[in-house]
Amino acid sequence: MKNVLFVCSENACRSQMAEAFANMHGHEVIKAASAGSKPAGRINDKAVRAMREAGYDLSTHRSKSVDVIPALDYDLVITMGCRDTCPRVKAQERRDWDISDPKDMGAEAFNRVRDEIERKVLDLIAELEK
């Protein structure tokens, strides 16, 4: 199992969806978590709706800061296009997925971002299974 942390600024959309997809598809490969550098305090309603359409209940998640996540040495920290460096988070490897923040997008564009995140998570799982 690889400990993977997904980080975006608010931990309200992108990183939450990435964590959810990792839990849905990679539960035997990835132990996923998510956090934000400036957490919004709540999950974006559009993310809850979009993930409900994908078969996942995101309403049980909460937006949290990188300051409150477990102090692990993560195998991989993935930022979601926000360019956060998260220096307080120990990681063996860091990557940035250049993904647009969908919070102000309409439903169709938001779902395209959701689908892009799912594809990237599936690619990551395939890579880690090798």
Active site residues: 8, 82, 86
Residue 68: which of 36, 46, 44 has the closest Cα? 36
Eight-class DSSP state of 58: G
CA distances from 81 to 69, 72, 99, 102 (A): 20, 23, 5, 11
Residue 16: which of 41, 39, 40, 33 has the closest Cα? 33
Residue 101: which of 5, 13, 6 has the closest Cα? 13
